[in-house]
C-alpha cells in the first residue's frame, strides 16, 4: 500500500512541476520589441548618471605558456 501511495504522490508531484513549467498563456507573452522596451523603461527608472567605463585593451593568454604565480 505504501508503494502505491508513494508512486501516486510522485506522479502528482511530477504533474505539478510540469504544469508550473508550462509556458505562459498567450496574453502574457510579449513580442521582442515590447520586452526590450520594458527593459529600457526599467533601466531608465534608476536614478543618477550612468557609469561609463574606459575601454580596456584585451590581452590574449597562451594556455600553453601561462604560469600562475600565487
Taking only the tens of pLDDT, the chain with its 70 residues reads 688 888 889 998 888 887 776 666 666 667 788 888 999 999 888 888 878 888 888 778 887 887 777 6
Supply the range of the domain harboring residue 12: 2-44
| 6 in any annotated domain | yes
Counting the structural domains of the chain, the total is 1
Q: Is residue 67 part of a domain?
A: no
28 vs 24: CA distance, rounded Å: 6
pTM of this prediction?
0.32
Residue 36 lies in a domain: yes
Report the alpha-carbon distance of residue 29 to residue 32 in Å, rounded. Answer: 10
What is the spatial distance between Cα 44 and Cα 37, in angstroms, rounded to a whole number? 10
pLDDT averaged over every residue in the chain: 81
Amino acid at each position: 500500500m505504501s508503494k502505491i501511495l508513494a508512486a501516486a504522490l510522485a506522479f502528482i508531484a511530477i504533474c505539478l512541476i510540469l504544469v508550473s513549467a508550462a509556458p505562459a498563456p498567450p496574453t502574457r507573452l510579449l513580442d521582442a520589441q515590447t520586452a526590450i522596451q520594458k527593459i529600457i523603461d526599467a533601466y531608465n527608472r534608476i536614478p543618477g548618471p550612468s557609469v561609463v567605463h574606459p575601454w580596456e585593451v584585451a590581452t590574449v593568454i597562451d594556455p600553453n605558456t601561462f604560469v600562475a604565480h600565487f
